[in-house]
Amino acid sequence: MDITVLKEKLTAIMSGQTPSREELAAILALPSPATYLHTIADQIRQERCGDAVLLRGIIEISNICNQSCHYCGLRKENKTLTRYRMGEGEIIDTVKKIQEADISTEVLQSGEDKTDIKWFSSLIRRIRKESDLFITLSLGERSQEDYLTFKDAGADRYLLKHETASQKLFDALRPGSSYSSRRNALLLFKELGFETGTGCMVGLPLQTMEDLADDLLYMKTIEADMIGIGPFIPHHATPLAHHPAGTSDTVLKMVSLTRLLLPKANIPATTSLGVLDRTGRRKALQAGANVVMLDFTPENYRKHYDIYPGKTYVTAEQDQTLPLLLRELENIGRTTGRDQPRN
């Protein structure tokens, strides 16, 4: 695709036209770095979201998971992992640290651990009472009643990555998980009034550019509010241990195209991208992303939230690297910011 054709296609997307999967796949196949695409995405990010990088504080409250996803180190078959569940007091103390760091959103994340719903709703109520943080949940799939209970208790947002829009890949990589029920959950979040987050991995075995185009079109169709896109990174204790990782160039193109298709979405520069490429998060923030997630999980648990290798290392050194990243961002005119306060 030459630059004139690319410019025409990007202009059409920006004017609201939905591209075909073939057009998106052709853009994803552009030689890297796709400088023009990233520059346009960075401009749209600036016009629609401003220069503030939004920070979120993440607490990995449990690494127990009942699922067997072929890509993930938390899968229940991984017996080498020390499993933990944080207690309510520890979670509340961590919430306070997030508040003290002047961050306006916390994310409670876990594997698919069927934690007692009553315990959960009282935890959410307590966080609402004791802080003014926005509460985001990222707990995997639960029952419809549970989602309703979370909402009633005061949760604001739910993150559930669709992982891949290809049903073939989904079924092969997530035995025991249902493609359609995950999609239904995402629709329900919207109906319930959650800000809804989703996302996918790049570089899964046998994944094609057309599959990635379908990911983009799916996220556009459901008008996701938050979109996390990261590379697949092989974990030694999974069936995909010997499969190559995704590439940061393709992730960056996905980030930029997401910004074009969903100009107002909150798009994190993902930790997994930072694992693959030390400068990955900065590059993403200059290619359409506007959010950074900071890991606040207490030190003694953090190392056990071992989804993919390198993650615990990157989060362990974040206290040193983040001030550097943020200073670098200031040098290019970016600030850090908070969400708009609750009405």
- Establish if 272 lies at the interface with ligand 5AD (CB under 6 A): yes
Distance between CA atoms of residues 267 and 294, nearest Å: 14
Q: At what angle do helices 3-14 and 248-261 cross, to 10 degrees?
A: 40
The partner in contact with residue 65, picked from ligand SF4, ligand 5AD, none with C-beta cut-offs of 5 to 8 angstroms by kind, is ligand SF4
Angle between helices 21-28 and 3-14 (to 10 degrees): 130
Does 108 bind ligand SF4 (CB under 6 A)? Our answer is no
What is the number of helices (H) and of strands (E) in the chain? Answer: 15, 8
- Residue pair 28/211 in contact by the 8 Å Cβ criterion: no
- Choose, by CB under 6 A, the member of 65, 135, 252, 284 that binds ligand SF4: 65
User: Would you state the structure tokens that stand for residue 341, as one six-digit string?
Assistant: 């306060």
Phi-psi category of 76—alpha, beta or left, where left has phi over 0 and alpha has psi -120 to 50? alpha
By rule CB under 6 A, what string of x and - marks binding of each residue 112-151 to ligand 5AD? ----------------------------------------
Q: Does 13 bind ligand SF4 (CB under 6 A)?
A: no
Candidates 169-177, 204-212, 226-234, 258-266; binding stretch for ligand 5AD (CB under 6 A): 226-234
**Smallest gap, in angstroms, from Cβ of residue 309 to ligand 5AD?**
8
Whose CA is closest to 196, among 256, 104, 262? Answer: 262
Which residues inside 100-119 make contact with ligand 5AD, applying CB under 6 A? none
Number of residues that bind ligand 5AD (CB under 6 A): 12
Partner from ligand SF4, ligand 5AD, none contacting 75, C-beta within 5 to 8 A by type: ligand SF4
Whether 260 and 336 have beta carbons less than 8 Å apart is answered as no
Residues within window 296-335 making contact with ligand 5AD, judged by CB under 6 A: 307-308
The entry of ligand 5AD, ligand SF4, none that residue 334 binds, CB within 5 to 8 Å by partner kind: none
The string of DSSP codes covering 208-264 is: -HHHHHHHHHHHHHTT-SEEEEEE----TTSTTTTSPPP-HHHHHHHHHHHHHHSTT
Is 72 an interacting residue with respect to ligand SF4 (CB under 6 A)? yes
- For residue 325, the Cα-to-chain-centroid distance in whole angstroms is 19
Query: Please, what is the minimum distance in Å from the beta carbon of residue 230 to ligand 5AD?
Result: 5
Task: Decide if residue 72 touches ligand 5AD (CB under 6 A).
Answer: yes
Residues contributing to the site for ligand 5AD (CB under 6 A):
71-72, 161, 163, 201, 230, 232-233, 235, 272, 307-308
Residues contributing to the site for ligand SF4 (CB under 6 A):
65, 67, 69, 72, 74-75, 111-112, 140
